[in-house]
């Protein structure tokens, strides 16, 4: 028996764990990719809870950076960055519900060197930026093209990093805003959370009819915080399964895998993102796992685990998690 | 001769200071007010540079709070707050241009008590909020209805505050995002800057055809920072004049009045908003007033003036200013 | 009658407004200046409430920067910066009391060019720093020597800035910490608040016997925020008068002048400094001016005034003020 | 062969891995514990590089909280919190050197319930605090007494957490400041980093003769961030070994264990702590492991690991780490 059988998705989802039709959201089917996530774009797909969707994601630079000699200014056209597939409409989803996205697999697409990393002037954690505005000269521009496959990310002649893929950007639509795909917030978005990979479930708050799921920005691997601002960006064939949990109203995205449940916050400054994540986790433990609120708070002070997603995007992302085995024993 | 004759708007605007047609953007003409500022809404008005527009703004609560006994949860429907007039299309405005908005006058509308202030749970600077997430109980809900006219804001039996109106929310549209009207950013938006009142010019970056000007959220008076989260909110008849400065590309909104020029930044944490404002001011002095960049930086360290707009919105707003008389003498 | 006669210092101080003995804290008398403020240094002076002290302050660089061609690395020896006079022991001061420091005058000392401004690598608001750590190259080093007298600060051939002196660093000792003189906190310290000039009273919390007053870091003028990190630093003869308010326990420094009362907070991020200042002001209005706490909070949202002291030091400083005329009318 | 044999401490330390004399720093020998870390206190012990020291640490509340019915206000006397053993003088240590502290073991002392956790009003991450000043009522005060031994922390009848001890507070003295033991900074201090447990080496910058090592604040376990502000605090017999690395000048503390090297930053806002940690790690890889600076920066974006120590103290602490196996392969 898989952990999935006892997951929140399976236990509370409309599909009750059943896997139904498979849809293919190819590049051709997608047509125009999106650079904002909102209620104003035309749906590309309508699915049922339990359906599987095979998505051809493009890399964050839309495949335009093909050589280490490219000049970024020639290739990138701000704000048209981080192209998203979607919106995918989930039958029956209404404001106040939650959509579950289980990631089955992420397979690289395209010819090697498939991976791209770069240093973008005035972007990243260790440089002045548009928001942390300084008068220093920008860091040099650098491009790194990287071979990768399902066995490894061949960073350099000597260093092979594990292939540990995840989805950088995943969301339902905000209710009225249309938010660029570089920014995470309480709808999800560009969270860059390494836990959001195969065999994980992300729970997203539904705020408009159909939920309007957007997905993109695959990373073949990423360090905590994505410190230079860019992971190993690549195009994938990503297979997800979606389900719908009716009347489960969550304020921020959440995540579940075999080991933990995690609440996710995105904000600046970084302590606010962390506060949100931990507060949501406390309230979750109190609402659904039988914990006294203060006991949950004090216990997380002893066993809570924090993942720094990004601290480079317009908002920073943090996940706060607790191991499921402690939850099972509570209170 | 008015300072306006030597303003940037007059000197560089298409209208060259001429005042042309007058338009009336009444409540009826506006029809549906907007809660996001973006490129997806239908224009309500097309104007020429130099045109005057008489705008009937609604208060931030759309007039729904009529009694100190109201319950906010019954009256407010998040995120449908802070209704905006617009979008107003300015003939000839294109990405890379700047729209100038001169505020001629702000006259109260409606019967007294016209003004509304309140304490909204989990909103304001001295409380845990959705972003600075805490487990404390919220502050009590309070509503204050306030008589006001063009002579004063009658805060209490004994305290009359000066009527010192300004526009809280003013912007062109972002290029692709549609941003809720509670949030300021580099497009303008909910800056809550007390300087943005009658006899001031706000310069807004144009990022989409026609500029798409939105305006609303009048305050009869406001302290620096708008600490409880709400000013004296009221409905007005606000008269503005717009002009278009071709090929003046600004990254953030700017302001000019008889005394100063000001650059405006909006971000979290608050030091980032302040950094943006001062950096933009340094670059402005260097680009257009003959200052060496480092000399501008050091001189502002001696004579720069900072206005805190809000530190309660999803992003905080700061203006950094220099007195024009020093500029005139430079370098 | 001066406003001083109705000041808190006069009304509640032990000296009741009387001016008593005058002490001279010359360079010779001071001997070794201090680079931390704490309970471990030997007193240089014992005074009574009501006594006047004429202090010879050194500039923040201890007079070592004499030429625009100096190299900072040759002249500055971190952390031995910002030399302080003191500690001055005030007879009768005990933990829980407050010491009032009225600044009578600040007169320049030394030969012109007396003033020094500079850009110190990795210091200032618009550069990466030791705390906001970036990998960018530092800004260039610059030194500016400036003529000044009591009539003006002769910044450049064409620009004369007003002589508007203030004390940058003023404090009692923390209870057990000894804090370097570059850092402000709840004991006072390097607040760099332009309001702290002649004809103002600063109220400092006493946390150790005698209070242990430190003073230094005079600025001939300074912009809000001290953006490049350095004001017009100069040596002075500063005359202060001290008084003691028994059993007035304040958590953070406060200030009073003819127009306003002000609460002062120092913290990072900048919103926390602002929160502290406004919270202290709300509590002060509630405790001593008859305001309901929530009414004070909402009213400051309409008429509170914020001064940004510095946003360059290890902690940033903000003052929040209310005009006395509104206080007089309350509630 | 242990990893210790190839550690920086062994390779570069004066003792070259030799274990020399053993000293006992008992409660009696310590006498008065310290609440600040600075150059003004009298040494309790002089040791040689390579010496072992068996330290009797007190819990952060100095053992005063003995019952869940205690009232914190009766027991705690701010700022006399978090008692420290030391200062321990290391022979030959001079400004510019680094002291290595290898933790051999941490054994609980005293009778059960030995462990203490509590919710202290206005302290912790999910509440308004003295710095993030709000007007909300404080959270309730709670005390939890916890049985623990070397096999587990018996949090509740059903939940046993692993005994995973670490030292919360460890430092050399700042050069001139004396910093309270609640605050971490570039000298070390109250970092609350779970990695700082048995079989780890902490590297501390020496800034005064002898280094003046302080140690205390043991935690039997702690979650990332120490969210409620308090871990499972307890008294220990902690055995450390110290060594001295001459002329290795580090700006911030560092850590090494069998798996990783880690740089540690402490600051507010939290992104600044993270920036410091990652910048120090980049510079360390460039200076000592043959990495090009930009390659290190981009590679950490793919494989850097972040540990959140605390986000409750006056400064927050973050460690940024890289697995040693990647270092070995560089560049």
In a structure prediction context, what are the per-residue pLDDT tens digits for chain D, which is 331 residues long? 799 999 999 999 999 999 999 999 999 999 999 999 999 999 999 999 999 999 999 999 999 999 999 999 999 999 999 999 999 999 999 999 999 999 999 999 999 999 999 999 999 999 999 999 999 999 999 999 999 999 999 999 999 999 999 999 999 999 999 999 999 999 999 999 999 999 999 999 999 999 999 999 999 999 999 999 999 999 999 999 999 999 999 999 999 999 999 999 999 999 999 999 999 999 999 999 999 999 999 999 999 999 999 999 999 999 999 999 988 776 6
Residue B330's pLDDT is what? 61
Report strand pairing: B36-37 vs B179-180: antiparallel
Q: Across residues A256-278, what is the average pLDDT?
A: 98
Q: What is the pLDDT of residues A34-53, one digit of tens each?
A: 999 999 999 999 999 999 99
Residue of D nearest to A267 (CA): D271
Please compute the mean of the pLDDT values over residues B83-91 and round it to a whole number. Answer: 98
Choose among D36, D221, D226, D13: nearest CA to D102: D13
Chains with 3+ CB–CB pairs under 8 A to C are A, B, D
In tens, the pLDDT along A204-259 reads 999 999 999 999 999 999 999 999 999 999 999 999 999 999 999 999 999 999 99
Which chain D residues have a beta carbon less than 8 Å from that of C40? Answer: 38, 40, 178
| C223 within 8 A of C235, measured Cβ to Cβ | no
Does pLDDT of A150 surpass 70? yes
Q: Which of A40, A131, A276 sits opposite B40 (nearest CB)?
A: A40
Place of tokens 């599909």: A15
Residue A329 is predicted with a pLDDT of 73
The verdict on C283 touching B (C-beta cutoff 8 Å) is: no
Interaxial angle between packed helices B270-288 and C270-288, expressed in degrees from 0 to 180 and rounded to the nearest 10: 120
Averaged pLDDT for residues C19-30: 98
Core vs surface per residue C238-247: b (16+ CB within 10 A) or e: bbbbbbbbee
B127 with D135: Cβ contact below 8 A:
yes
- pLDDT at residue C168, rounded to an integer: 98
User: pLDDT-based confidence at C203, cuts 50/70/90?
Assistant: very high
Residues of chain A with C-beta less than 8 angstroms from the C-beta of D275: 125-126
For residue A81, give the nearest of A36, A38, A27, A146 by alpha carbon: A36
C241 strand-pairing partners: C52, C102
pLDDT for residue A330: 61
Interface contact flag, B140 C294, Cβ < 8 Å? yes
Give pLDDT tens digits for C116-160.
Answer: 999 999 999 999 999 999 999 999 999 999 999 999 999 999 999
Per-residue pLDDT for A331 more than 80? no
CB D330 within 8 A of CB D291: yes
Q: Which of the residue ranges A159-163, A180-184, C304-308, C324-328 would you say has the lowest mean pLDDT?
A: C324-328
Is it the case that residue C330 has pLDDT exceeding 90? no
Closest residue in chain D to residue B126, using alpha carbons only: D134
Distance from CA of A136 to the nearest CA of B (A): 11
Cα distance from C142 to chain D (closest Cα, Å)? 25
Task: Compute φ and ψ for D211, nearest 5 degrees.
Answer: 80, -45
Query: In a mutagenesis test of the A interface, which of C120, C121, C126 is the best target, namely the one with the most A β-carbons within 10 Å?
Result: C126
Give the per-residue pLDDT at A261.
Answer: 98
Q: How far is CA C316 from CA A209, C124, C267, D183, in A?
A: 46, 12, 5, 17
Question: Pairing mode, if any, of strands C22-25 and B260-267?
Answer: unpaired
**Residue in A133, A269, A278 closest to B269 by CB:** A269
Nearest CB to D227 within list A230, A301, A326: A301
CB-based contact, C328 to chain B, within 8 Å:
no
Chain D residues in contact with A195 (beta carbon < 8 A): none
- Contact status, residue D126 vs residue A282, Cβ threshold 8 Å: yes
Say whether pLDDT at A114 is over 90: yes
Q: Given a cut of 80, is residue B215 above it in pLDDT?
A: yes
In the predicted model, what is the mean pLDDT of residues A187-209?
Answer: 98
Q: Show which subunits contact D, needing at least 3 CB pairs below 8 angstroms.
A: A, B, C
B284's CB contacts (< 8 A; 6+ apart) are B254, B261, B263
Farthest CA pair distance, chain B: 58
Give me the sign of the Cα torsion angle A53, A54, A56, A59: positive
Give D 197-226 residues with CB within 8 A of chain A.
Answer: 221-226
Which domains are delineated in chain C? 3-249 (2.60.120.580), 260-329 (3.10.28.20)
Give the position of tokens 């326990």. C249
Which residues neighbour D304 within 8 Å (Cβ) at sequence distance 6 or greater? Answer: A223, A224, A225, A227, D278, D281, D320, D321, D322
Residue from B70, B54, B199 nearest B145 by CA = B70
Using DSSP's 3-state secondary structure scheme, residue B27 falls into helix
Q: How far apart are CA C172 and CA D39, in angstroms?
A: 20
Sequence-ordered list of residues with C-beta below 8 angstroms from that of C26, at least 6 positions apart, any chain? C56
Across C41-63, average pLDDT: 98
C-alpha of A173 from chain center:
14
| A12-29 confidence digits (pLDDT tens) | 999 999 999 999 999 999
Name the residue among D140, D159, D230 with its Cβ closest to that of A301. D230
Q: How far is residue D63 from each of residues A199, D58, D114, D140, D161, measured CA to CA in Å?
A: 46, 7, 9, 22, 22
Q: How many angstroms separate the CA atoms of A229 and A130, rounded?
A: 13
Can you give the pLDDT at residue D140? 98
Q: What is the pLDDT of residue D330?
A: 61
- Across the beta sheet with A160-161, what order do the strands follow? A115-119, A142-149, A152-154, A160-161
Strand partners for C166: C219
Percent of chain C predicted with pLDDT > 70: 99
Query: Residue C42 — φ and ψ, nearest 5°?
Result: -80, 135
Of all residues in chain A, what percent carry a pLDDT higher than 70? 99
The pLDDT of residue C324 is 95
d(CA D271, CA A309) in angstroms, rounded, equals 12
Q: What number of CA atoms fall less than 13 Å from residue C241's CA on the CB side?
A: 20
Report percent pLDDT > 90 for chain B.
98
CA distance A279 to chain B (A): 7
Q: What angle (nearest 5°) sits at the alpha carbon of residue B58, between those of residues B56 and B60?
A: 150
């Amino acid at each position: 028996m898989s952990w999935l059988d006892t997951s929140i998705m399976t236990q509370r989802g409309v599909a009750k764990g059943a896997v139904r039709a498979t849809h293919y959201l190819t590049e051709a089917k997608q047509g125009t990719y999106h650079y904002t996530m909102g209620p104003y774009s035309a749906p590309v797909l309508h699915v049922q809870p339990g359906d599987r969707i095979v998505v051809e994601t493009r890399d964050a630079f839309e495949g335009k950076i093909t050589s280490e000699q490219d000049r970024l200014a020639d290739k990138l056209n701000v704000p048209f960055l981080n192209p998203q597939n979607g919106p995918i409409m989930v039958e029956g989803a209404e404001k106040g519900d939650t959509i579950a996205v289980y990631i089955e697999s992420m397979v690289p697409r395209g010819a090697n060197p498939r991976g791209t990393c770069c240093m973008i002037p005035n972007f990243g954690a260790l440089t002045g930026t548009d928001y942390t505005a300084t008068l220093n000269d920008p860091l040099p521009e650098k491009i790194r093209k990287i071979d990768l496959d399902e066995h490894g990310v061949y960073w350099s002649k000597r260093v092979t990093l594990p292939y540990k893929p995840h989805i950088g950007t995943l969301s339902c639509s905000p209710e009225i805003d249309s938010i660029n795909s570089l920014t995470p917030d309480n709808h999800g978005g560009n969270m860059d959370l390494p836990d959001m990979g195969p065999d994980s479930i992300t729970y997203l708050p539904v705020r408009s009819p159909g939920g309007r799921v957007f997905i993109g920005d695959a990373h073949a691997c990423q360090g905590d915080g994505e410190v230079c601002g860019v992971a190993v960006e690549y195009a994938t064939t990503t297979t997800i399964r979606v389900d719908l949990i009716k009347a489960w109203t969550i304020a921020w995205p959440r995540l579940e895998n075999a080991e933990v449940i995690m609440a996710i916050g995105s904000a600046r400054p970084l302590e606010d993102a962390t506060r949100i994540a931990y507060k949501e986790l406390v309230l979750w433990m109190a609402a659904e796992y039988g914990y006294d609120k203060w006991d949950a708070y004090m216990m997380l002070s002893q066993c809570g685990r924090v993942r720094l997603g990004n601290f480079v995007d317009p908002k920073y992302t943090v996940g706060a998690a607790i191991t499921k085995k402690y939850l099972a024993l509570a209170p």
